[in-house]
Amino acid sequence: GSTAAPKTIRQVKLDKECEFRVEVSPDAPLRLRLLTGTAEIFGTEIPPEIWLTFPPRLKFAAFTWYGATIEVDGTTETDYIADETPMVSYVNVHAVLDARRNRAKASPGDSDASQGPRVIVVGPTDSGKSTLSRMLLSWAAKQGWKPTFVDLDIGQGSITIPGCIAATPIELPIDPVEGIPLDMPLVYFYGHTTPGVNVDLYKVLVKELAHILERQFAGNAESRAAGMVINTMGWIENIGYELLLHAIDTFNATVVLVLGQEKLCSMLKDVLKNKSNVDVVKLQKSGGVVSRNAKFRQKTRSHRIREYFYGLSNDLSPHSNVANFSDLCIYRIGGGPQAPRSALPIGAEPAADPTRLTPVNINRDLLHSVLAVSFAKEPDEIISSNVAGFIWITDIDFESKKITYLAPSAGSLPGKYLIQGSLIWYEP
């Protein structure tokens, strides 16, 4: 009849080493399935026959090593087939890492030799860093390794909400739709989406994270041999560059993969030339990487927060809780009120301790803030503690002195101390 939907199913035939690049339309999901051959999405094999549903706006590629036919149902923003990809060079890197993992596994007991590769992926924004990290992790997991994924990208990280650095073991190839499973990530809350707000705090948190991972590796030969893949931020100039060097050093990276930037690569080669155990490798950026503008990034951040509370497809039911003002202990880190220059002796600089804790009185600015729930038992442990999760302030009643917040579940919070950064979220 006249109400029948237009037929939108079509087949796409891919020759060997080609990929089908897709940007899902902004307002409708896309369905895709593998009909013949084999294909993978960012390192994870597509199961045969089963329809997969990709949410609006997602950008991905289905790549085949030996040829495949896929079927898609729905409209896309753009889609095309590419026969030139850097995938062979990427999988060659994987092969080298795999050999190093095997060597590490064969040398138990020797503290140096038993350490698998510690890979750090660097490059400007939109060079494909997260995507390459994901492929290396999924290929490793497919072969039975359990590498640790470390995401230092506070702007567009893929482990938890923005403003955090985090780590999690990857035990299975990463699901192309669901992303990284959120079982038990180790999360540190920085609270801002750019590093410049408090560079020292960022460094302190990176050190804490590295320290905990080092301890975990010491007691777990399997994850030690599997090593880690560290994704970084797209800031590569000035402070960004300094923070890259800091991360390489702090995590004792042994392989630095540089995507899409000659200059960065030669600078890193130069500063690291005396470290014989560090390889700096330049890799080509994929032509499929999509540039995302500031607005899109902001949207993605907002979606990540929504996803934390409600799930990717509204499958979670967060709980609205009410607390008395006096029940919540909220702190800010650094940037507290400074002595004005005029109040200081001539020549003295106002010194704001970047890791100073300032208690926050309940005020209007907290409305719509996303706060982290610290595992700290005492306030002076807040800086060095990881966080259990997040809450979102939805209402503040100054008359009854009650505050309403959304949390992933009902009941008391997993910690007493809350941290406020600059993360604000307005439910779309």
Binding site for ligand ADP (CB under 6 A): 19, 21, 59-61, 123, 125-131, 156, 234, 286, 288-290
Q: What would the two tokens of residue 285 be? A: 């950026």
C-beta of 416: minimal distance to ligand ADP in Å?
A: 36
Nearer to ligand ADP, 195 or 288 (CB): 288
Nearer to ligand ADP, 274 or 291 (CB): 291
Nearer to ligand ADP, 130 or 148 (CB): 130
Within 4-128, residue ranges assigned H as helices are 87-105
Burial 291-321 (b: 16+ CB within 10 A, else e): ebeeeebeeebbebbbbbbbeeeeeeebeeb
Token pair 């307005």 is found at: 426
Nearer to ligand ADP, 84 or 397 (CB): 84
Of residues 368, 425, 374, the one with CA closest to residue 162: 425
Burial of 252 (0-12, 13-18, 19+ CB in 10 A): middle
Token pair 């010194």 is found at: 351
C-beta of 130: minimal distance to ligand ADP in Å?
A: 3
With contact defined as beta carbons under 8 Å apart, do 315 and 307 qualify?
Answer: no
C-beta of 135: minimal distance to ligand ADP in Å?
A: 9
Nearer to ligand ADP, 21 or 192 (CB): 21
Nearer to ligand ADP, 235 or 392 (CB): 235
C-beta of 285: minimal distance to ligand ADP in Å?
A: 8
CA–CA distance from 160 to each of 91, 189, 309 (Å)?
A: 27, 10, 11
Count of alpha carbons within 13 Å of 416, Cβ hemisphere only? Answer: 9
Nearer to ligand ADP, 82 or 199 (CB): 82
With contact defined as beta carbons under 8 Å apart, do 130 and 285 qualify?
Answer: no
- CA-based angle 316:370:60, to the nearest 5? 60
Nearer to ligand ADP, 131 or 386 (CB): 131
Residues 408, 389: Cα–Cα separation, whole Å: 8
Task: Enter the DSSP assignment of 344.
Answer: S
With contact defined as beta carbons under 8 Å apart, do 89 and 136 qualify?
Answer: no
Residues 390, 42: Cα–Cα separation, whole Å: 29
C-beta of 286: minimal distance to ligand ADP in Å?
A: 4
Residues 138, 133: Cα–Cα separation, whole Å: 9
Q: Using CB atoms, what's the residue nearest to ligand ADP?
A: 288
**What order of strands is seen across the sheet that includes strand 417-424?**
319-324, 402-407, 387-397, 369-374, 417-424, 329-333, 357-359
C-beta of 87: minimal distance to ligand ADP in Å?
A: 9
C-beta of 124: minimal distance to ligand ADP in Å?
A: 7
Nearer to ligand ADP, 257 or 403 (CB): 257
C-beta of 123: minimal distance to ligand ADP in Å?
A: 6
C-beta of 126: minimal distance to ligand ADP in Å?
A: 5
Token pair 């924004």 is found at: 125
Residues 72, 30: Cα–Cα separation, whole Å: 7
Burial 60-78 (b: 16+ CB within 10 A, else e): bbbbbeeebebbbebebbe
C-beta of 329: minimal distance to ligand ADP in Å?
A: 36
Nearer to ligand ADP, 20 or 251 (CB): 20
